[in-house]
Chain A
Amino acid sequence: MSQGNPILGTSPLRKEGRAKVLGATQYIDDLTLPGLWHGTTIRSTIARGRIKSITFDPQINWSEYAIVRAADIPGENSIVHLTRDHPCLAATEINHVAEPILLLAHPEKSALLAARSAIHIDYDELPGVFTIEASEAAVEALHHDPNATSNIIWSGSNSGGTPNCFKQYQMHTGEADETEDALAAAFESADFIITGEYTTGAQEQLYIEPNGVIAECDIDPATGHIRGVTVRGSMQCPYYLVHALALVFNLPEENCRVLQVETGGAFGGKEDFPSVIGSHAALLAMKCGHPVKIIYDRSEDMAATTKRHPSRTRIRTAVSRDGKLLAGTIDIALDGGAYATLSPVVLSRATLHAPGPYKWPHLRVRAKAMATNIPPHGAFRGFGAPQSLFALERHIDKIAHTLGLTPEEIRRRNFLSTGDRTATGQLLTEPVDMQHLLTRALADSGYHARRDRFAAENPTSRIKRGIGIAAFMHGAGFTGSGERRLNSLVHLDILPNGLPQILVSSTEFGQGTNTILCQVAAEALALPYDDILIHQPDTTLVPDSGPTVASRTAMIVGKLVERAAHQILTTLRTHASLPTPHTRAQFIAAAQSYLTRHNHLRASTRYQPATKIHWDDDLYRGDAYPAYAWAVYVAEVAVDLSTYTATVTRFDALQEVGRVLHPILARGQIEGGIAQGIGYALYEKCVYQNGHLMNNQMTNYIMPTSADLPTIHVYFEETPSPHGPGGAKGIGELPMDGPAPAILNAIEDATGIAFTAIPLLPEDIFERLTAYTTHPHGGTEDLNPATDLDTETESPRVSA
């Protein structure tokens, strides 16, 4: 350590922080290229049907415009995913509202507005399938009558898809038949059988910067052949877009260049969607011979791009009198939207997180992702885990109430600990201490004293207060053998000035990738943090270090950077007489001396699975994740009986995430995730009507503001993990998982009412609190999205 000061565990300034604070950062809409045209997307206005005709109003001079339809696509009309069901542009079949049909480009952005309203598309409309239940009913009808296909909206696939169902998983705690027998026996003899059904809604990522790209197409002027395409944009996964462009343009991947520009937030919403908008812009660039920029506005981004999968989870548990989980069945259904996209992967994470941090002697999890005529649901921080953990953590409280145990005690009696096996059979060899996490979380948050105080005060107060907990974990990195398949590669170069530069495709989108990777390199190389450079991702220069998703960057990519740094040191110590320990000057001198002799110095490291990680994709058994982050969250709520509003009044979040690399960034990740979780639980509702998202602007899609958020207390327990650099594990998604169940558990503590669905809005609380008998009213189901008593502008008359 030349400076003698550790860098990991400190909080240096973010690499790109200065430019962002000074407003100097150039986002995609700040950039331009010579001769740039602007593109726009003509989308379906129906949820399901066939295109009958497309008419272009002759009052527009269409020769000024580039127009792309499905037939113009040089390669395959498909966005690359596990299944090739997702068209780049709809040719005849329409499967969701806002499905792209035509692309237009023009040198003047304003000319696109007039053109948009001069294109008329006629459809043969079919009735849409908008819910998991409607999609299941169609499958049921098909079982009875093979000709009953009228509501089969998705036919199946060669990767495990069946009519209306993109994917199914079945997971058992042991050999399937034996487990089924044990389940049957346990449910036969258990003291208590407790069942519950839990549902969660769609959620919009609401990154600050909407999706946007600029594309260029290089056409050989002599032959007219496409030599290559280049796309710059706001995104998480540049190599995903390379794969997409290669398919759409039928080009070798090396001729598809993708550059990530500074990205204003993503949260999963820019994982796979840039493949769509990037392909669209590149097609327009091909057609018009100019660079083309497409930037969505907020309304288009919300109406047309991915959201979190809505879910329905049914849990049945056999429990002993003393509160031990004996057996369980968990049935998860996700609403995948119109195309498979990432649903099989989201479903996998939902399945693997469904058992929670508990010991299950016998458990079966069945999961399926159903097709609906809603725009495809996709990646969003948590990626399936928030849905199944919401269900489980509400259900654990239900068990506690049924048995007369406290929420604390029921969890203590069932927690996994070191040496136990998870539901997939994974042996927990690294230390896991949920008992301690729970003890500390309750102590640090003053849980017991507050719970007692609320119980005393509530009877005489119009404000009912309550406190709830959630215990959970989140797997870091790709599931099972996923990391082995990704086979990530990292380069670390020494530049002519003797200082290092990291080359990865891992992207910065506000979460701190640049900063932590540079910290890791600085610590390993014993150089100052400011000496480390990281290259902006450009697929012609950076290797594929995997997608920036799945809480994998710190642990997996960070470890590769650390290993590359150690390689550099070994090289310099062996071949350039770098002493141990060394100073910064000695490092630079050794590096430059090496470069004089060898011209370049690069360390490349590739992912090496820990040999003990085994995963069986067919049986869904084995080591589901290399490591888990563990957490206990405590939410306090106030429910106002005058307004039926539930407000989170305090939040305490304790997590064990391995070594914390950058305390300020880590704290920010946790606070931000909790804020998103509060929105998920109490505010954010996607209101659909016939498949149209009706509240596709921030006026009516209600994201909590700082005035709606409590003080969030963040605590870390640091148990170094062997998997990540300096002992780090993943952290990004974890805080999304716990808030919703903790909040609804707190609302039950406050009101005595067991709500089972989120988002839980005041209208829903009102209907339950005031319902003396069963009534036909549905709370927010009664919202009339066609009407807005405030914002209509029929004949605005604004005077002074």
Chain B
Amino acid sequence: MRSDPTQFALTAPASLQAVLAQLAQNPGTHIPIAGGTELMVALAAGRLPRHSFLSISHLPELRFIRITPDAIHLGANTTFTDIRRNPTIAADLPLLTLAASWTGSIANQNRATLGGNLCNASPAADTPPALLVYDATVTLISSGAAPGEIVQRTLPYRDFYLAYKSTVLRPDELLHTITIPRAYSVHRHFLRKVGTRNAQAISKTALAALALVSESPATTSDSPSTTPCARHIQTIRLAAASLADRPIRLYATEAALQNASLAPAHLDATLRRARAAFATEAHPIDDIRSTARYRTAVAANLLEDFLRSLTT
């Protein structure tokens, strides 16, 4: 332990309103702490700046999984274990269940929350690529003008990050809900993490993909490699970890693959276009875990593995 815990203030306000009130009162002085699995590591290493921490882990208002016909709503305090144990998530959003199973140890999974994973904003985090391809939205809350009033705003999760370890959350805001559409029953789902080892590892890179494959005529036929009636990609979403300063959607690659043919005669051309587009938007770095060259090459290989899997 390289920090002195007595030098840190930790309070546990009784209600969500009380937390929001404290955040609003002195914006920037308090840091919310839920599972604490990231902050505790930094604390032990002596890397955690002194702050006042507001515990939110005891607030039942933030720990829920609400299933509606169209969407799954996850409270920010939903733990990785909660996610892993939910059969609806496993059926509808298998990539989220898979990503949750990879994070840390079982003990970590029992404490760590989905909200914490997103707000910590590591470019290497496990759940963001899955949530990005599932097109999640996030609901942020803060204190309103009237006493006890809570105001909220909702935005696409893909717009949540601003830069390295930086999000759109204002100092007076909390992440409240992550909402994911239940719209992927006929899609092909893919997620592969390449970590430093097979468990308890931080990603060197990871790629999530979601695609709708069609045998019917393509809606547009301006692309030369698109053959009507041949097997092709109708829609595709791709997202990656550790390829940039934040978790990213691979928009250029998605665009290059829109309506791309998966017919045997065209597959090589499709793969070439995918790799070329991918190269324009993968910007990893050399760090202590891997090299930029390796990350780029492996993520491109994973993309190819996924595209090849769509041919059958």
Contacts and interface: CB of A to CB of B under 8 A. Distances in A.
B174 interface: yes
A114 B4 contact: yes
A798 B294 contact: no
Contacts of A797: 31, 119-121, 165-167, 169
A297 interface: yes
A297 B298 contact: no
Interface of B: 1-6, 31-34, 36, 38-39, 41-42, 44-49, 56, 59, 62, 75-77, 113, 115-116, 119-125, 164-167, 169, 173-176, 194, 196-204, 242, 245, 285-291, 293-294, 297-298, 301-302, 304-305
A176 interface: no
B173 A799 contact: yes
Interface in A698-718: 699-700, 702-708
Nearest to B116: A798
B288 A763 contact: no
A299 B42 CA distance: 13
Interface string A750-782: 000000000000110011001000000101101
Give 8 closest A-B pairs by Cβ, nearest first: A800-B76, A707-B198, A784-B286, A707-B199, A799-B119, A800-B115, A790-B124, A787-B287
B286 A299 contact: no
Which label, helix, strand, loop or mixed, suits the secondary structure of the B interface?
loop
B286 A782 contact: yes
Contacts of A794: 165
A783 B291 contact: yes
Contacts of B56: 799-800
A574 interface: no
Contacts of B59: 800
Interface stretch (A123-131, A320-328, A605-613, A640-648): A640-648
Interface in A611-657: 641-645
B26 to A, nearest CB: 15
Contact of B302 (A299, A642, A697, A762): A642
A114 B59 CA distance: 34
A578 interface: no
Contact of A705 (B41, B197, B245, B286): B197
A788 interface: yes
B4 A694 contact: no
Contact of A793 (B48, B198, B294, B304): B48
Contacts of B298: 642-644, 762, 766
A209 to B, nearest CB: 16
B270 to A, nearest CB: 18
A783 B167 contact: no
A707 to B, nearest CB: 4
A677 to B, nearest CB: 16
A666 interface: no
Interface of A: 110, 113-114, 297, 299, 462, 641-645, 683, 687, 694-695, 697, 699-700, 702-708, 762-763, 766-767, 770, 777, 779-780, 782-800
10 contacts: A642-B302, A702-B196, A767-B293, A770-B297, A789-B245, A793-B38, A797-B121, A797-B166, A799-B175, A800-B32
Given A783-B291, A793-B48, A705 B115 contact: no
A6 to B, nearest CB: 41
B119 A643 contact: no
B123 A798 contact: no
A798 B2 contact: no
B32, B38, B166, B297: which has the most chain A beta carbons within 10 Å? B297
A294 to B, nearest CB: 14
B297 A798 contact: no
A33 to B, nearest CB: 21
Contacts of B6: 110
Contacts of B293: 763, 766-767, 777, 782
Given A113-B2, A784-B288, A800-B174, A789 B167 contact: no
Contact of B4 (A110, A706, A762, A790): A110
A800 B175 contact: yes
Contacts of A767: 293
A151 B76 CA distance: 57
Given A114-B4, A792-B165, A797-B167, A700 B115 contact: no
Nearest to A782: B291
A783 B121 contact: no
Which label, helix, strand, loop or mixed, suits the secondary structure of the A interface?
loop
B175 to A, nearest CB: 4
A372 to B, nearest CB: 21
A108 B77 CA distance: 36
A796 B48 contact: yes
Contacts of B77: 800
B32 A798 contact: yes
B290 A705 contact: no
B287 A788 contact: yes
Contacts of A704: 197
Given A799-B173, A800-B77, A763 B39 contact: no
Contacts of B202: 699, 790-791
Contacts of B286: 782-784, 787
B34 A798 contact: yes
Nearest to B56: A800
B288 A695 contact: yes
B106 to A, nearest CB: 12
Contact of B176 (A697, A770, A777, A800): A800
B125 to A, nearest CB: 8
Contacts of A643: 194, 298, 301-302
A789 B199 contact: no
A645, A770, A785, A800: which has the most chain B beta carbons within 10 Å? A800
A699 B287 contact: no
Contact of B197 (A702, A780, A798): A702
B33 A798 contact: yes
B199 A766 contact: no
A274 B241 CA distance: 43
A644 B301 CA distance: 10
B65 to A, nearest CB: 14
Contacts of A786: 288
B29 to A, nearest CB: 12
B119 A766 contact: no
Given A110-B6, A799-B169, 15 more contacts: A642-B298, A645-B194, A694-B288, A699-B202, A702-B201, A705-B200, A708-B199, A780-B291, A782-B291, A788-B287, A789-B124, A789-B245, A793-B38, A795-B165, A800-B119
A704, A766, A799: which has the most chain B beta carbons within 10 Å? A799
A88 B38 CA distance: 37
B150 to A, nearest CB: 13
Contact of B45 (A641, A697, A800): A697
A114 B293 CA distance: 42
A704 B197 CA distance: 7
Contacts of B203: 790
